[in-house]
A and B are shown apart, each in its own frame.
Chain A
Amino acid sequence: MTIFHIDVNSAYLSWEAAYRLQHGSKIDLREIPAVVGGDPKKRTGIVLAKSNLAKSCGINTGESLSSALSKCGSLTIAPPNYDLYVKCSNALVELLLEYGPSVQRFSVDECFLDYTGLERIWGDPYETAEKIRHRIKSELGFTVSIGISSNKLLAKMAGELKKPDAVSTLWPDEISSKLWPLPIEELYMVGRATVPKLKKMAIYTIGDLAHTDLVYLETVLKSHGKLIWQYAWGIENSVVRPSTHLAVKGIGNSTTTPRDISDLNDINLILLSLCETVAARLRATEHCARVISVGLKSAEFSHYSHQKKLYTPTDTTKDIYEHAKDLFLETWQGEPLRHLGVRVSELCTNEFLQLNFFSDQPSHEKQRKLDSAIDALRKKYDKNCIKRACFANTSVKSMGGGVGEDEFPIMSSLL
């Protein structure tokens, strides 16, 4: 098998830079301290992408814009343009499809291409990858890193070896020389929570992980330990899926507020707007949910969440909102908040519903019919064609959270 992993370098920034250059800008955002983030005038937003010069000023992805501006006074801020990002992502996929039919869009800026058997048409994989890289740069105006290997995991790791604008390989016989010396945090699926646990076990490199006893690792990290151990050995055999459709495990939406909020009425309004979006998305997938969770982030960036399992699954906005409010009150410690999120999980089909002897069934049926009618109106006209009266004359959107554009491919954590 031969798999390519194509990753756009600093995607949001590169795309915005290419767009501006095409429209006559003399400045390339990639060559100055620049970030893509929210609107500084509205005092909302975080850094979504940064240039190398911004990185050298100590600016990190995910930090607030005000913090970024304090580190670099001459920072150029470009607001996000998700419509542009979707178009660039589509153009990338379109170009890759010229080389083979099996292209998986892993996220908005990453794709896998199954090159198995295509050597007969296009030739050597490395040379073809170089051609693809040059074409993307000259035709689309942004750079990519391409990794080549025999499975998706190794191809993805290969792409991380040389950045930006490069092609690299990581074949199974190169694992010990190229992969194992890397720090453990570089391994895919080893995140912030896992790194300290591994370091406590004296695992500092990917090689250390590979040579750790699997039984011991599973005792500490359970199934995740087995997964990352396999990844350290380059063991992964998922296929390149042309469709990104996966069984949905959960649906959530969150939002960062322009100011710290501590008024309960304002918070409830934001929770309601998030529940509207989550419930609409849940009904669109024809599922009900058993578990509802609420996530909060305070003004000091401390994050916590609370969840509960329902006796009977639900898909109505009212139910999800009532439970979200209860969860919020149970967990909130009264401090000013900056970020709120609502998520539903443990999904099941909404073809039939388990009734609850203790709940008001006629009212519940009425609620479902109302939600269904509202969904139909929004689908036919626009999602803003109808909204609850409580959102009138407020700055809170009636359907909050999300990126605002439809079909924006969010990255999956599953290869």
Chain B
Amino acid sequence: MKEIEMLCWYDKVGTPHPIRFRFSNEEGYNQVVKIDAVKVRESERLAANKMIRFICLSKINGSQYELLIKYELETCKWYLM
């Protein structure tokens, strides 16, 4: 699990819509990934810790990937799983 920097917009009811994120890849370089679509958005509260799970579709190096991203409400942190 990696902590990522996320650009996100919020609609009037407060639903987050992730746009793109940046993370350090295995070589240590920053990589920016655009989120093409959000397939699933659901809440979870395992161990009473509220998070929103996103299953997103993104193109990385020409290939389409399904990514599991989580947003932790208490800390406002985004994680790439």
Residues of A within 8 A of B (CB): 15-16, 18-19, 21-25, 84, 87-88, 90-91, 139-142
Nearest A-chain residue to B80, judged by Cβ: A24
User: Separation in Å of the B4 CB from the closest CB of chain A?
Assistant: 12
B13 within 8 A of A: no
User: Separation in Å of the A5 CB from the closest CB of chain B?
Assistant: 20
- Rounded to whole angstroms, the CA-CA distance of A21 and B81 in the bound complex is 11
Which B residues from 22 to 81 make CB contacts under 8 A with A? 44-49, 51, 70, 79, 81
Is the pair B46, A19 in contact by a Cβ cutoff of 8 Å?
A: yes
Is the pair B44, A22 in contact by a Cβ cutoff of 8 Å?
A: yes
Is the pair B1, A19 in contact by a Cβ cutoff of 8 Å?
A: no
Is the pair B81, A24 in contact by a Cβ cutoff of 8 Å?
A: yes
* Selected contact of A18 from candidates B1, B46, B70, B79, CB within 8 Å: B46
The 8 closest A-B pairs by CB, nearest first: A24-B1, A91-B48, A141-B46, A18-B47, A19-B47, A87-B48, A22-B46, A88-B48
Nearest A-chain residue to B81, judged by Cβ: A24
Residues of B within 8 A of A (CB): 1, 44-49, 51, 70, 79, 81
User: Separation in Å of the B43 CB from the closest CB of chain A?
Assistant: 10
Q: Which residues of B contact A18 (CB under 8 A)?
A: 46-47
Is the pair B79, A19 in contact by a Cβ cutoff of 8 Å?
A: no
Q: Which residues of A contact B49 (CB under 8 A)?
A: 19, 22, 84, 87
Is the pair A88, B47 in contact by a Cβ cutoff of 8 Å?
A: yes
Nearest B-chain residue to A139, judged by Cβ: B45
Q: How many pairs of A and B residues are in contact by the CB < 8 Å rule? A: 41
Is the pair A84, B1 in contact by a Cβ cutoff of 8 Å?
A: no
- Rounded to whole angstroms, the CA-CA distance of A88 and B49 in the bound complex is 8
- Rounded to whole angstroms, the CA-CA distance of A84 and B1 in the bound complex is 20
Is the pair A141, B1 in contact by a Cβ cutoff of 8 Å?
A: no
User: Separation in Å of the A145 CB from the closest CB of chain B?
Assistant: 18
User: Separation in Å of the A263 CB from the closest CB of chain B?
Assistant: 42
Is the pair A15, B79 in contact by a Cβ cutoff of 8 Å?
A: no
- Rounded to whole angstroms, the CA-CA distance of A141 and B81 in the bound complex is 18
- Rounded to whole angstroms, the CA-CA distance of A24 and B46 in the bound complex is 12
Nearest B-chain residue to A16, judged by Cβ: B47
- Rounded to whole angstroms, the CA-CA distance of A19 and B46 in the bound complex is 7
Q: Which residues of A contact B51 (CB under 8 A)?
A: 22
Is the pair A140, B1 in contact by a Cβ cutoff of 8 Å?
A: no
Is the pair B48, A140 in contact by a Cβ cutoff of 8 Å?
A: yes
Q: Which residues of A contact B47 (CB under 8 A)?
A: 15-16, 18-19, 22, 84, 87-88, 140-142
Nearest B-chain residue to A90, judged by Cβ: B48
Of B1, B47, B81, most buried by chain A (CB within 10 Å of CB) is B47
User: Separation in Å of the A373 CB from the closest CB of chain B?
Assistant: 35
What would 24 A/B residue contacts be, using CB atoms closer than 8 Å?
A: A15-B47, A16-B47, A18-B46, A19-B47, A19-B49, A21-B46, A22-B46, A22-B51, A22-B70, A23-B79, A24-B1, A24-B79, A24-B81, A84-B49, A87-B47, A88-B48, A91-B48, A139-B44, A140-B45, A140-B46, A140-B48, A141-B46, A141-B47, A142-B47
Nearest B-chain residue to A23, judged by Cβ: B1
Of A22, A88, A91, A141, most buried by chain B (CB within 10 Å of CB) is A22
User: Separation in Å of the B54 CB from the closest CB of chain A?
Assistant: 14
User: Separation in Å of the A98 CB from the closest CB of chain B?
Assistant: 13
Nearest B-chain residue to A84, judged by Cβ: B47
Q: Which residues of A contact B81 (CB under 8 A)?
A: 24
- Rounded to whole angstroms, the CA-CA distance of A327 and B59 in the bound complex is 72
Q: Which residues of A contact B70 (CB under 8 A)?
A: 22
